[in-house]
Structure 1
Amino acid sequence: MWIVPEAKIADLMDRATCFTAIEGVFAAMSRGDAYNFPVIRESIGHADALYGFKSGFDRQGLALGLKSGGYWPGNEAKGLTNHQSTVVLFDADTGKVKALVGGNLLTALRTAAASSVSIRHLAREDAKVLGMVGAGHQSAFQMRAAVEQRQFEKVVGWNFHPEMLDRLANTAQELGLPFEAVSLDELGAQSDVIITITSSFDPILSAAQIKPGTHIACMGTDTKGKQEVGADLVARATVFTDEVAQAISIGECQHAVADGLLDKADIAELGAVINGTHTGRSSAEEVTLFDGTGVGLQDLAVAAAVVDLAIAKGVAIEVDF
């Protein structure tokens, strides 16, 4: 069995490799070559933590395994990331444990890659202003990945706790882009692309705040009850997702479907756009929305890639298990 410690991940996985892995797994899912197993995600009744398992199998890439972990909201005060996870990979031919991989940085990278894939395939080519809703740990990863897809000229941002907006401002400065802290109304009025990356259980943006032609990547809702945008906004948009079953059960679409504003049949797979079986954006005025629920196959794809890189570079630890 191979072990790739969390501390080695940063030197192994880059955004380009992660993007390729995520784009490929979305395409495989849409073709029916890969599928996710039902998600388990529960409040454990301790430390306000959410904990669960995501797993699946890619018949083409032979990635089989699970990610176990969740969200501990008090971790940042302890000097730890709030999201904690580990990926376990199995040999698809024998069922033997193949690898144990640190999943914290990979989770941030694969989540950012997913929204980045949606921007490449759904955002207007002339998008100039990037709007960021949320300034937590993952927001910097999201911004860095997003700006590689369009020629953005400015970043605007909003956060529940304004004192945290320095993270967005510093990341924008690192990327050579001006940053402006704005109200939600102003964010919607200015932004051509909006990324929401919060842990909210109440809608933050409504349909009335979004201008025509906007692409929205909703990346924070991955649990029953969570919600980042109003059901009216989901109903207004042309909706795409990583997996429809997760979108309607634990994703942003759960609320619009429950309210009767959106039908399951109206939700398209982003993988279908990648494969060319769905046209994607149909006009410059269309509002598109990607419901990024975070599927287990994303974690398996990036973990499998990082194991191969770690072995090739001689930093993977081999143990008899």
Structure 2
Amino acid sequence: MSEVLIVGEEICQQIVGRAEAFAAVEAVFAAMDRGEARNFPVVREALGHARALYGFKSGFDQAGHVLGVKSGGYWPGNMDRGLTNHQSTVFLFDPDTGQLSALVGGNYLTAVRTAASSAVSIAHLARRDARVLGMVGAGHQSTFQLRAAAEQRAFEKVVAWNPHPEMLPRLAVVAEELGLEFEAVSPQELGAQADVIISITSAFEPLLMSGWIRPGTHLACMGTDTRGKMEVDSALLARATVFTDEVAQSVSIGEAQHAVSQGLIGAEDITPIGAVINGGHPGRGSEADITLFDGTGVGLQDLAVASVAAKLAVERGLGARASL
């Protein structure tokens, strides 16, 4: 009989902050680059029910001694029910025995680890003098993205656009809390002003065109994680120096899938962000370079932050326990 730790959503929000998530995600990206952590093939399917996408992401981080799987997906009608559209749970296993060790709520952690991923890219790739942050998308994850990004550079202003402009006030409120000027703009104006751009949508067509993006911009494209999704013009990836969390996902289900299928770039043109973290790649080559991070969302990110949640819960005597 094994004892399982259960760490619910409220506890995760209480003990895992942006700093903890950033450190965990940065460390696992570095471990991936060193060959000490690997993701297993992703299973992601349309259910044919409730317009939902459902799947599994799993992997093993030998450096961090973390093994597990995240199960969940995207239910677009959940917002009308007062629920988060993204629903997930992380299962952690003891790498030495295979026994289930923890069940960890994955909704909050998915949002905070996705924001940490783009923040890691900003920390390592954006120009040091970046002052204007552009936000494309104003859904549930956008406020997490804004808060995490704001800690990476001395931003003074946020410019934002969303296909549904009535959702933009949620970003305006956060910008005000952070002491940043806020302006709702067109996508073209966003490209003209922003030094760093985060896109976090579920779009299936380009929302930003290559010609709108200035030299020196850093983009973190965080919404494309399924075949067919698309947030930016494929020609932009041909202009940019492209980085990602995992190349295999980038070319198959990430933002790069379209540029690769069109022959504009190849897998060899995409660099894992872990190589920059570990010092094997210089990252930004010049102040005029456009850098683009294709954040596809790898299972190891989820396992990393869930493992932190489980460890902190044990240290603080939080969570419930059940026997299997």
TM range (shorter): over 0.9
Correspondence for 2:183:
180
**Alignment deviations for residues 161-209 of structure 1 (CA, whole Å, 9 cap, x no partner):** 0101111111101111110000011000000000000000111111100
Matches within 5 A, 1:91-106: 91-106=94-109
CA apart distance, 1:269: 0.6
User: Once the two structures are superposed, what CA deviation does each residue of 1:16-71 show, in whole Å capped at 9, x if it has no partner?
Assistant: 01100000000000000000000011110011111100000001111100000001
Structure 1 runs (4+) deviating above 4 angstroms are none
RMSD of Structure 2 on Structure 1 (CA): 0.5
Matched residue, 1:13: 16
Deviations 1:115-155 (A, max 9, x none): 00000000000000000000000000000000000000000
2:5 to 2, 18, 21: 2
Q: Which amino acid aligns with 1:25?
A: V
Q: Which residue does 2:261 correspond to in 1?
A: 258
CA–CA distance in structure 2, aligned partners of residues 43 and 127 of structure 1? 39
1:229 matched to which residue of 2?
232
Match of 2:128 among 105, 122, 125: 125
Q: How many Å apart are 1:316 and its aligned residue?
A: 1.9
- Does residue 1:310 correspond to 2:313, yes or no? yes
User: C-alpha separation between the residues in 2 aligned to 1:205 and 1:63?
Assistant: 37
| Aligned residue identity for 2:54 | Y
What is the rounded CA distance, in whole Å, between the counterparts of 1:123 and 1:35 in structure 2? Answer: 27
SS for the counterpart of 2:30 is: helix
Q: Could you tell me which residue of structure 2 aligns to residue 63 of structure 1?
A: 66
Counterpart for residue 211 of structure 1? 214
Amino acid at match of 1:87: V
For residues 181 and 15 of structure 1, the distance between their equivalents in structure 2, rounded to whole angstroms, comes to: 26
**Which of 53, 61, 66 pairs up with 1:50?**
53
Aligned to 2:140: 137
Give 3-state SS (helix, strand or coil) of 1:202's partner: strand
**Aligned residue in 2 for 1:165:** 168
Q: Distance in 2 between matches of 1:256 and 1:143?
A: 27
Q: TM-score, normalised by structure 2?
A: 0.98
Query: Secondary structure at 1:11's aligned position in 2?
Result: helix
TM-score normalised by structure 1 residue count? 0.99
Give the Cα separation in 2 of the matches to 1:188 and 1:145: 20
Secondary structure, in 3 states, of the residue corresponding to 1:204?
Answer: strand
Aligned residue for 1:130, secondary structure, equals: strand
Distance 1:69 1:320 in 2: 23
Q: Hey, what does 2:27 align to over in structure 1?
A: 24
Q: Please give the per-residue CA displacement for 1:240-295, whole angstroms capped at 9, x wherever unaligned.
A: 00000000000000000000001110100100000000000010000000000000
Q: How many residues align?
A: 321
Stretches of structure 1 that go unaligned for 5 or more consecutive residues are none
In 2, distance between residues paired with 1:81 and 1:174?
Answer: 23
* Richer in strand (by share): 2
1:157 aligned counterpart, secondary structure: strand
Provide the C-alpha distance between the structure 2 equivalents of 1:292 and 1:266, rounded to a whole number of angstroms.
16
Secondary structure of 1:228's aligned partner: strand
Structure 2 Cα separation of the partners of residues 191 and 60 of structure 1: 37
The one-letter amino acid of 2:37's match is A
Following the alignment from structure 1 to structure 2, what is the Cα–Cα distance between the partners of residues 5 and 263? 41
Task: Tell me the CA shift for residue 234 of structure 1.
Answer: 1.1
Partner AA of 1:35 in structure 2: R
CA distance in 2, matches of 1:91, 1:19: 24
Equivalent in the alignment of 2:298: 295
Amino acid at match of 2:228: G
User: Per the alignment, in what secondary structure is the counterpart of residue 268 of structure 2?
Assistant: helix
